[in-house]
Structure 1
Amino acid sequence: MSVRKFFSRIINWELWNFNVIYAPISPVWLWYAIRSRAFWFFTPSNPTIDFGGFEGEGKKEMYDQLPPEFIPRTIYIKHDEAFNKVLHILKQSGFEYPFVVKPDVGMKGILFRVIENEQQLKKYHERIPVEYIVQEKVDYPVEVSVFYYRYPWEKKGVVSGFIHKELLQVEGDGKNTLRQLIAEHPRAKYRLEEMEHRHQHRYERILPRGEVFYLSYAGNHNRGAKFTNLHHHIDDRLVEVFDRLSHYNESFFYGRYDIKTTSIEDLKQGKNFMILEFNGAGAEPNHIYDCNMSLGRAYGVILKHWKVLYRISRYNNRQGVPYWSFRKGRAYLRAAKKHFRLLEQFD
């Protein structure tokens, strides 16, 4: 890494390691655990999701609790299934290329792929070591994240964060190779090892002028997506849409929805949108990124959300939703981390 890039990482807190960012405020998290007399104080926050949706929950349990008309068509594939049977299942389900594949239990865009043909699917199926999902590719042009919470004793919730996502991409100029475009990209240049792993076989390709090449299809900050704050678009109509989603099963009180839609206006009207993910207690308020926000202000946003999470969890516990025991939570988290380490080896 060049000296210039090194100092850019030092100055820009958004490029810091996750643990480095959160270390100074971790005592607040511990304080909530002490007040709750439960190390895993957040587990009652979303009562019908394992571990409150903090980590390690399956997508199937999440999709099963959301309105089916707002979920992309999805099927579940066992990784050790015979490939011919997989093709038969896809045909019976009416799937056509391209479509999306990802682990049922995954995070940070690990092993998320867009499959264009049978050869790619075969390679993915033979490689992935866990159960995965095949999902209809949603081609709505606008991808957003909406952070929403609702206190269980209230009917109306709060949309605290609303951002637009732009996938990590470069645009060809008819002159430079993909390698050169990546090296000059404001975000991709900090991810050269990842870019080389994924795209080295295309590095010397010169993209025609105007051609867009997606370096990652995952709309995560962890995968280099660009976020634009849409806070000024938050209004009662938007809140009403997510109130209805929250009341659908009366169990999703805190988390972030990742959504594709035809337009912001359509989303506010409750139409033409699909929910790609719901992330529960472990969801980061990602509207702190790409908004020229100081680290101090970002800490204020995070701490506000932690307080909300604590209050929701405490209330649900008093209504009879138990906290997970330390032993149960530790075992669950260890299994989840082991699972993710396995995924990272194959990503």
Structure 2
Amino acid sequence: MQIKKFFERLFNWELWDFYVLYAPLSPMWFWYCMRSKAVWFFTPSNPKITFGGFEGEGKKEMYDLLPAEIVPQTIYIQPGIPFEEVLKAIARSGLQYPFVVKPDVGMKGILFRIIEDEAQLKRYHERIPVEYLIQAKVDYPVEVSVFYYRYPWEEKGVVSGFIHKELLQVRGDGKRTLKEHILAHPRARYRFEEMEKKHGHRFDRVIPEGEIFYLSFAGNHNRGARFTNLHDLIDDNLVRVFDKISKETEFYYGRYDIKTQSIEDLKQGRNFMILEYNGSGAEPNHIYDCNMSLWQAYKTILHHWRVLYQISKYNARNGHPYWPYKKGRDFLRAAKKHFRRLEKFE
């Protein structure tokens, strides 16, 4: 079985480690650093977001830039405060169970949870070592990602990627246990250690026929979510929606993660919520699950890097300078230390 998994990973680039996948492209990234004469050449790409949104930015600073009506109701909780204070904050806000909790500064779905009751919240609060947010759970049925960019000298932007997300899940057959479902799942079986940590206490449970059991609520590729390419549905209406949002926030490059009632509603600018958006560090995740060859994926990534370089260069020349090396180095070190801390509690 282990040998089989090894060869499946070897010949399926979508299963490769991030650093292995991107290593052949790294000379181009360094070339942009040299041309810009700045290690952090991407920092002016999104001037209103710390570090250009590459890594380590807080969700609060990004939510605060957006119109309140398209952001889920959110409150922020400091770690270590008395739990009674948390309950008072929830009562004042009017938030109701179930709701979402996640670190204000997070990545890859680490410590993202759906909280069903007070006991779960208490365990989470006692465990998490950093500031976190409590957010209304958005029940719109369709979850999508939109990769958007706009050259600052142009009025109209580009939606370069549009995908539908399906959370990592299994459907019961009334016969197999959860463990057997996971071992048979084309994605979950490669995440067995993570699945055992999260769901090991339920491994012997037989999943009733037709029941959907969610293995992860994070809609990230690195958390096993399945993507479906919606590129054929990109049109001027969709672009107009994100032009309007992005001009208000001076957001030039990155990816929006959204829940909506329907694709048509999203195109009309109604019945949708922005769960998160990621700036210069956003991966064009429409390369996954779209039958792309490795070379097509590389071409797509390189195109987006070139766009990022051009936007950043223009903004640097127009009042938004590159971050100095030491400032960026110190910020990145602090961010990585923060994420290592989170991983210990995951």
Aligned partner letter, 1:55: E
Deviation of 1:60 (Å)? 0.3
Deviation of 1:19 (Å)? 0.3
Quick one: distance in 1 between partners of 2:165 and 2:45? 26
**C-alpha distance after superposition, 1:282-306 (max 9, x if no partner):** 0000000001111111000000000
Quick one: distance in 2 between partners of 1:248 and 1:330? 30
Q: CA RMSD in A?
A: 0.6
Aligned to 1:187: 187
Aligned to 1:264: 263
Aligned to 2:30: 30
Name whichever of 48-57 and 240-249 sits farther off: 240-249
**Secondary structure in 2 aligned to 1:96?**
coil
Aligned to 1:293: 292
Aligned to 1:235: 235
Query: Any unmatched runs of 5+ in structure 1?
Result: none
Aligned to 1:63: 63
Deviation of 1:329 (Å)? 0.5
Which aligned pairs between 1:215-254 and structure 2 lie closer than 5 A?
215-249=215-249, 251-254=250-253
**C-alpha distance after superposition, 1:62-99 (max 9, x if no partner):** 00001111000000000111101100110111011000
Aligned partner letter, 1:77: I
Quick one: distance in 1 between partners of 2:247 and 2:68? 14
Aligned residues: 346
Aligned to 2:93: 93
**Secondary structure in 2 aligned to 1:23?**
helix
Could you list the runs of 4 or more consecutive aligned residues of structure 1 that deviate by over 4 angstroms after TM superposition? none
**C-alpha distance after superposition, 1:91-135 (max 9, x if no partner):** 111011000000000000000000000000000000000000000
**Secondary structure in 2 aligned to 1:191?**
helix
Quick one: distance in 1 between partners of 2:326 and 2:96? 45
Aligned to 2:178: 178
Aligned to 1:160: 160
Quick one: distance in 2 between partners of 1:312 and 1:196? 43
Quick one: distance in 1 between partners of 2:319 and 2:118? 49
Residue 308 (1) aligns with residue 335 (2): no
Quick one: distance in 1 between partners of 2:144 and 2:81? 34
Deviation of 1:243 (Å)? 0.4
Deviation of 1:144 (Å)? 0.2
Aligned partner letter, 1:30: F
Which aligned pairs between 1:87-166 and structure 2 lie closer than 5 A?
87-166=87-166
Quick one: distance in 1 between partners of 2:123 and 2:257? 27
Query: Any unmatched runs of 5+ in structure 2?
Result: none
Aligned to 1:326: 325
Quick one: distance in 1 between partners of 2:59 and 2:199? 28
Quick one: distance in 1 between partners of 2:47 and 2:164? 29
Which aligned pairs between 1:269-280 and structure 2 lie closer than 5 A?
269-280=268-279
Quick one: distance in 2 between partners of 1:259 and 1:36? 33
Deviation of 1:247 (Å)? 1.2
Quick one: distance in 1 between partners of 2:137 and 2:170? 21
**Secondary structure in 1 aligned to 2:56?**
coil
TM-score (norm 1): 0.99
What's the % identity of the aligned pairs?
71
Aligned to 2:17: 17
**C-alpha distance after superposition, 1:173-215 (max 9, x if no partner):** 1110000000001100110000001000000001110010000
Quick one: distance in 2 between partners of 1:346 and 1:83? 19
**C-alpha distance after superposition, 1:30-65 (max 9, x if no partner):** 000100000100000000111000000000000000
Aligned partner letter, 1:332: F
Residue 337 (1) aligns with residue 325 (2): no
Aligned to 1:212: 212
Quick one: distance in 2 between partners of 1:95 and 1:285? 33
Deviation of 1:322 (Å)? 1.0
Aligned to 1:43: 43
Which aligned pairs between 1:194-205 and structure 2 lie closer than 5 A?
194-205=194-205
Quick one: distance in 2 between partners of 1:174 and 1:191? 23
Deviation of 1:4 (Å)? 1.2
**Secondary structure in 1 aligned to 2:273?**
strand
**Secondary structure in 2 aligned to 1:304?**
helix
Quick one: distance in 1 between partners of 2:266 and 2:175? 39
